[in-house]
Amino acid sequence: MIIVHHLENSRSQRVLWMLEELGLPYEVRRYERDKKTMLAPPELKRVHPLGKSPVIEDTGDGGRVVAETGAIVEYLVDKADGRLGPPANRTAALDYRFWLHYAEGSLMPPLLVTLVLSRVPFFGKAAQKRIRPWIESHLDFVEAHLARQPWFAGDSLTGADVMMSFPLEAGRSRAGLDSSRSATIAWLEKVHARPAYQAALRAGGPYSYA
Helical spans, DSSP H, in the chain: 12-22, 69-79, 90-102, 108-118, 123-146, 159-174, 182-193, 195-204
Question: Is the model's pLDDT at 116 over the cut of 70?
Answer: no
Q: What is the pLDDT of residues 91-105, one digit of tens each?
A: 999 999 999 999 999
Q: What is the pTM of this model?
A: 0.92
List of residues 6+ apart from 142 with CB closer than 8 A? 107, 164, 168, 181, 184
Radius of gyration of the chain (CA): 17
Delineate the domains of the chain, giving CATH numbers in brackets.
Answer: 2-84+196-204 (3.40.30.10), 90-194 (1.20.1050.10)
Distances (CA, A) of 112 to 153, 171, 174: 25, 10, 10
Confidence of residue 24 (pLDDT cuts 50, 70, 90): very high
pLDDT tens-digit map of 28-79: 998 888 777 777 888 989 999 999 889 999 999 999 999 999 999 999 999 9
